[in-house]
């Protein structure tokens, strides 16, 4: 059963389901599984943050490895969440209430 709605058309997905990034819980396998099932898999900025062997790898290197893994597991669309920082401070993308 394919849903024909605007969000599915825009994102190129089969079902209007967008997986939450969920920071450390989400990894490349989960993102690819959601995308392969017809939803929008989403990789968070801290996805899979843990020690790899005996050393901790950089966020940039870890993200690059996760992106390569996702691309090897699916040819479907997926999203990546980025946190932008300026000189050690988070950039606000919204105004607080």
Average pLDDT over residues 21-35: 90
Nearest to 32 by CA among 70, 69, 62: 70
pTM to 2 decimals? 0.76
Digit-coded pLDDT (tens) for 38-92: 999 999 877 766 655 556 667 778 888 899 999 999 999 999 987 766 665 655 5
Residue 25 pLDDT class (50, 70, 90 cuts): confident
Helix axes 59-73, 28-36, angle to 10 degrees: 30
């Amino acid at each position: 059963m394919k849903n024909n709605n605007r969000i599915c058309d825009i994102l190129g997905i089969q079902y209007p389901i967008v997986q939450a990034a969920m920071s450390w819980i989400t990894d490349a396998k989960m993102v690819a599984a959601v995308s392969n099932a017809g939803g929008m898999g989403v990789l968070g900025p801290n996805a899979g943050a843990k020690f790899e062997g005996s050393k901790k790898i950089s966020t940039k290197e870890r993200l690059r490895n996760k992106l390569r893994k996702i691309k090897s597991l699916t040819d479907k669309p997926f999203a990546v969440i980025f946190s932008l920082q300026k000189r050690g401070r988070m950039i606000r993308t919204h105004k607080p209430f």
